[in-house]
Amino acid sequence: MPFPRIGSTTMGENTMGNQELDFNQDLRIASVQRGPKTMLTVNGQKILAYGGESVHAALTAAGIRNFRIAKTGESRGVLCGMGICYECLVTIDNIPDQRACMTMVRDNMEVITEVPLFQKQTPEENNMDGNQ
């Protein structure tokens, strides 16, 4: 069974972007003890994060894997996860080209990815902060 490639058709209909996401999902390992809860804004959408997490970790836990668009037009996400490859660049608090893997989350941080996100539409959608 081939390993599913980011951006390949095995990932869903959006071949070059993020598949439709449920921002309420949490892919974290439940048993790990975490820092205080906080919220990030990613392209205007609120997602959950915990103190001590990198932006990379928070985005990945929300299922967001494609961050930026390379010169070739292909989407890119985290490759090395340790600050070397510069594939995971996102705009953080209006500063472009910051490494998601090397930036720790802060309260009310605003993250912008070049690859758009598509919120999965469900009739009874509840926002994380419950008002809307």
List interacting residues with another protein (CB under 8 A): 71, 86, 89, 95-99
Based on CB atoms, which residue is closest to another protein, 70 or 128? 70
Tell me how far, at minimum, the Cβ of 97 lies from another protein, in Å. Answer: 4
- Convert the chain into a string of H (helix), E (strand) and C (coil): CCCCCCCCHHHCCCCCCCCCECCCCCCCCCCCCCCCEEEEEECCEEEEEECCCEHHHHHHHCCCCCCEECCCCCEECCCCCCCCCCCCEEEECCEEEEEHHHCECCCCCEEECCCCCCECCCCCCCCCCCCC
Based on CB atoms, which residue is closest to another protein, 65 or 76? 76
Tell me how far, at minimum, the Cβ of 44 lies from another protein, in Å. Answer: 20
Based on CB atoms, which residue is closest to another protein, 20 or 114? 114
Tell me how far, at minimum, the Cβ of 99 lies from another protein, in Å. Answer: 7
